[in-house]
Amino acid sequence: MDTVFKIICVSLMACLMHQSNAQSSNMAYRNPIIHTDYSDPDVIRVGNQYYMTASSFNFVPGLPILQSTDLVNWTLVGYALEKNIPDSFFKKVQHGGGVWAPSIRFFNKKFVIFYPDPDHGIYKVEANQISGPWSSPQLVFAGKGLIDPCPIQTNGKNYLVYALAGSRAGLKSVLLLTELNSQMTAVIGQPKLVYDGHKDDPTIEGPKIYARNGWYYIFAPAGGVKTGWQLVLRSKNIEGPYERKVVLEQGNTPINGPHQGAWITDTKGKDWFVHFQDKNAFGRIVHLQPMEWVNDWPVMGDFNNGRAGQPVLSFGKPAPAISSTWRDDFTNEKSMSKVWQWSANPDPHWAFVYQNRLRMFAVPYPAEQKNLWQFPAWFTQKLSCDQLVFTTKLHIRALAQDEESGVGVLGTDYARLFLTKDSAAYSIQLAICNNAEQGKPETVLFRQSFKQDSIQIRIRILPNEQAYFGFSLDGKDFQELNTAFQMKAGKWVGARIGFFCLRRKRLNDAGSVDIDWVTIKQ
């Protein structure tokens, strides 16, 4: 495994959560159970443990693995995908590409994940233990626009249900079924159309297929991520025809969507539905709905309105949210948290844990690039709630004159507080880039010189999706800049916060910046 992935992957860290103080005995909780961007969650239970994976798109390591004992409190325990393949393609930032909605299953005493890459096809990885090692991705079904696969084993055969992305396949709003071979490594025969949603359920996608009481069920969202509904299809024959029923919709709640997820039965036989809600710059956050079966149809959420259920904001008598603080001290590879991801497949020499700090070396980036949208060496994490204070200390003595380093909040618009060096001093600058995806240039709104070779930077994130940058030269008094940055989501992902270190000209050597520590208070 490459050095930089060892730095990221071998550590143990509890995923930051928001409003998830559950009383496990009666499943009292408050939604969202995870106020973090885990798009397209899929969940299974193995014994008394629950496991979740989610989309990771272009960020690596990918295919996050979260673990829980109660479906409410989740811990990020690792990743199933070291890097996106093919490596040459993902050395460049492929915003919105990479890993789309995966499915996790436990087949024949093995953990199996099927995931789609809309530009290449459907892949499979597997492991004997959830902690890995996970196999290298195997291409099961090649093709553009194949998305959201979910496997099922039934009657001695293997099948895969999936959807199509209109942006690549030129067709969407359909669900298809194909048979797999006995090893689940290749498709057999031609795919079959099992549901056409153009009339009643446009943009149907994200299918999850299950078998129960002689019925086959396909759970799938339709109507779009921000405005859609949850649909369930059922049939006595896996190839259909399927009946339809809307089982969950926004109604008069503030939970828009609600979108794609998974049916899970807990250790006591109670049924639940895990799904996500698109919350703009805060990403696609995770909710949990109570679920029951009535006349062989699932009903979920608050379903006493005579129609489809509505998402619950809480269930039982949830404890109030409490403040928390998370800290990463970068003292060694084992202690480094798992939340960090790169924007593209990294070079193993980009960063190292060194002398109780994370040393990031300046990565070449063409001077003609007007902004950092395509910079591959963003080292970032998801936002962990809708109100937080991110603080870090940087040592910049080794930064060269043609280099820049600092902290940013990254979406299709981004802002960064960055450091440069001239012959006599350093400078700190605030730059904002609107419409970065379209190649627009940055605008520098603040600049100040200083001579210390270390600095603390602070970013405040507010529920109105605004970010404020500040800094301290003595570690005590912070100067907060009065420019509010209005955050934007990225390409299918929420805004992210993290570090960069780049050089514009030098080709034969690189300076560096040392990250001493990071704290997040929420």
pLDDT score at 322: 66
CA dist 18 and 386 (Å) reads 9
> What local confidence, expressed as pLDDT, does residue 507 receive?
76
Mean predicted lDDT score pLDDT of the chain: 93
Closest CA to 50 of 276, 233, 215, 288: 288
Separation between Cα atoms, residue 137 and residue 55, nearest integer Å: 15
**pLDDT in the model for residue 378:** 98
CB 486 within 8 A of CB 365: no
**Degrees to nearest 5, angle at CA 504 with 501 and 505:** 130
Q: Which residue stretches of the chain have pLDDT < 50?
A: 1-25
Please give the Cα distance from 499 to 380 (Å, whole number). 6
Strand extents, DSSP E, 396-495: 403-410, 414-421, 426-433, 443-450, 454-461, 466-472, 479-480, 485-486
- Which 8-state DSSP code applies to residue 312? -
Domains, the chain, in order of start with CATH, read 37-55+100-315 (2.115.10.20), 325-521 (2.60.120.200)
Structure-token match 């993902």, residue found: 90
Kindly report, residue by residue over 262-290, the tens digit of the pLDDT: 999 999 999 999 999 999 999 999 999 99
Q: What is the DSSP string of 71-133?
A: SSSEEEEEEEESS-SSHHHHTS--TT-SB-S-EEEEETTEEEEEEEETTTEEEEEEESSTT-P
Q: Are 499 and 514 in contact (CB under 8 A)?
A: no
Strand 363-364 and strand 496-503: pairing? parallel
Q: Do 357 and 395 meet the contact criterion of CB atoms below 8 Å apart?
A: yes
Which tens digit of pLDDT belongs to each residue from 70-129?
Answer: 999 999 999 999 999 999 999 999 999 999 999 999 999 999 999 999 999 999 999 999
